[in-house]
Structure 1
Amino acid sequence: MENKKESSTFRQPIALVTGANKGLGQQIAKELVGHGYIVLLGSRKFDNGKAAADEIGQGAHPIQLDVTNTQSITAAAEHIASEFGRLDLLVNNAAIGQSGRYSTLTEILEASKASVAPLDELRILFETNVLGVLAVTQAMLPLIKLSTSGVILNISSAAGSLTLNSDPNFPYRPYFNVTYPASKTALNAITLALAIELEDTGIKVRAASPSFTATAMNNFQGTDTVEVGARALVLAALDTESPTGSFTGPDGKLPW
């Protein structure tokens, strides 16, 4: 990232998108740039983030950010503070679907059942999908508080909705388990807790779910492109007027 910015740059809204070097994260970053944002593309490997930023073009800037590494998070927050002095939008997108030990969807589903799921698998998923989100948010919150229209958007999933999965008629109910879906349930809880805590500050905290998008996380078995999948996420990110504490998806409001 360049060390010097034109003075006009600072009048643009500043966004950080974690896990933005590919898939939905990169698409969100691309669309935010199109809406006039300066977007910092958080990536565990800086070179991957740089390649994604170069593909997007002007307005996109890579930043090294591993959401499971405290030093990386602290360094990213300090860099944003020194370069921009504030953060207007935080999109917590970085997530994993499994640790990498499984090679097929059938294996993942079988190993994700509550009766047999390895606890170390849960720890790995929760470290990224839940604790990583909270760690990044805590580090960036002082910068978001300096914004006049701060938004924190956590990328969640309808798969984590307890209300939907409690319904025997919900078609995806058999796939609710203690790994990825439960991590999104926990993420929703953190989202709501943050929204309640910050509701008097004017900062909007919300969760949003994409459509069933073809990404590396599901071995590109999703039915929608990243352009389609990102629509509900970008809408939620740009929304500075709706009430805080919402959970939305492609068809509107989702139950927690």
Structure 2
Amino acid sequence: MTTRRNALVTGANKGIGLETARRLGALGFKVWLGARDAKRGQAAAEALRGEGFDVEWLELDVASDESVAAAAKTVAAQTAGLDVLVNNAGVAPGYVDALGPDGRYERPPSREGVADMKATYDVNVFGPVRVTQAFLPLLLASPAARIVMLSSYLGSIARAVGAGLGESQSPNVMGYGSSKTALNAITVAFARELAPRGIMVNAAAPGYTATDLNGHRGRRTVQQAAEIVVRLATLDAGGPTGGYFDENGPLPW
């Protein structure tokens, strides 16, 4: 008898997270749809169940130690292990307000608010640490767990400085961009620790995707964005760990 595989996707009531939950559900996973808002989380889970997938809303605010701990207890009470963790939840306070009429980011680092940066780091950096640590016992109980961190092209320092690429390929978004650079470093740190235990940890860059995060100005669809996320979440044995990828392959740090 085949044991049902379990996956958790944070921030999954909309955007890339919702599409990732849908794709994992289509692959036969029982999906825990992490969302902090009950109304939106339950509606998203119900919609996916209506498509025939085994999806359950999980109350989860990645910026709250108490919420993360309670969520881990909820999942542990219903399953012995977690096969996939997608740390998708992310924020970019003030990002949309700083976009000009042509869609270019117009807020220089000298005008970046520290309060906004702290809020960004609490979700984008400390959130994945909280969630990964809290769910680690369940991940270790899986024979071959996979962890995916939702990074961004903006997390690449090489792209920002134009190393080997000529001019910079990234807008100068200090708060959000640096949070994804930090997340890349966290990806490597967890990968180094967990590789001997058979857990693969990788960072995915979904590209500039049309979501609420950017006022839907992104050029890519959530279907395109979810491709690399799901690929890294379902890696076969012997696949990469501690890497940073888009759908075309490894990215420069």
Say whether the 8 Å CA contact 1:90–1:152 is kept in structure 2.
Answer: yes
Are 1:125 and 2:117 an aligned pair?
no
- Using a 3 Å threshold, how does the CA distance of structure 1 residues 209 and 170 change in structure 2: closer, same or farther? farther
Which segments of 5 or more consecutive residues in structure 1 lack a partner in the other structure?
1-7
After superposition, residues 99-178 of structure 1 pair within 5 angstroms as: 103-106=97-100, 109-111=105-107, 113-167=108-162, 169-173=166-170, 175-178=171-174
Quote the offset at 1:94 in angstroms: 0.1
Residue 103 of structure 1 deviates from its aligned partner by 2.9
Letter in 1 for 2:229: L
Per the normalisation by structure 1, the TM-score is: 0.90
Partner residue in 1 for 2:31: 39
What is the distance in 1 between the residues matched to 2:240 and 2:224?
A: 24
**Deviation (angstroms), 1:233:** 1.2
Matched with 2:4 is 12
Please state how far the C-alpha of 1:172 moved relative to its aligned partner: 2.7
Query: Which residue number corresponds to residue 79 of structure 2?
Result: 84
Alpha-carbon shift at residue 99 of structure 1 (Å): 5.1
Question: Matched residues in 1 for 2:210 and 2:97: separation?
Answer: 17
Letter of the 1:50 partner, please give it: Q
SS in 1 for 2:197: coil
SS at the partner of 2:40?
helix
Give the one of 225, 228, 233 matched to 2:221: 225
Q: CA deviation at 1:116?
A: 2.7
> How far did residue 170 of structure 1 move?
4.5
Give 2:145's aligned amino acid: G
CA-CA distance at 1:213 after TM superposition: 1.2
What CA distance in whole angstroms lies between the structure 1 residues aligned with 2:186 and 2:94? 22
Q: Determine if contact 1:99/1:124 at 8 Å carries over to the other structure.
A: no
Alpha carbons 1:176, 1:182 under 8 Å: kept: no
Q: Percent identity?
A: 38
Asked if 1:55 is matched to 2:47, the reply is yes
Residue in structure 2 matched with residue 249 of structure 1 by the alignment: 246
TM-score by length of 2: 0.91
Letter in 1 for 2:252: P
2: CA distance, partners of 1:170 / 1:34? 41
Range moving further from structure 2, 58-67 or 222-231:
222-231
Among 18, 24, 30, the residue aligned to 1:26: 18
Residue aligning to 1:5: none
CA distance in 2, matches of 1:170, 1:36: 44
Q: Which runs of 5+ in 2 are unaligned?
A: none
Give, as a single letter, the amino acid of the residue that structure 1 aligns with 2:199.
I
Q: Which segment drifts farther, 221-230 or 29-38? A: 221-230
Secondary structure in 1 aligned to 2:12?
A: coil
Query: Once superposed, which parts of structure 1, at least 4 consecutive aligned residues long, lie more than 4 Å away?
Result: none
* CA–CA separation in structure 2 for the residues paired with 1:206 and 1:35: 20
Tell me the distance in 2 between the aligned counterparts of 1:196 and 1:40. 26
Deviates more, 1:16-25 or 1:161-170: 161-170
Q: Distance in 1 between matches of 2:82 and 2:14?
A: 22
Instruction: Return the letter of the residue paired with 2:16.
Output: L
Q: Can you list the C-alpha shifts for 1:132-167, whole angstroms capped at 9, x where unaligned? A: 110111101111000001111101011110122221
> 2:167, 2:91 → 1: CA distance?
24
Structure 2 CA distance for aligned equivalents of residues 90 and 249 of structure 1 = 18
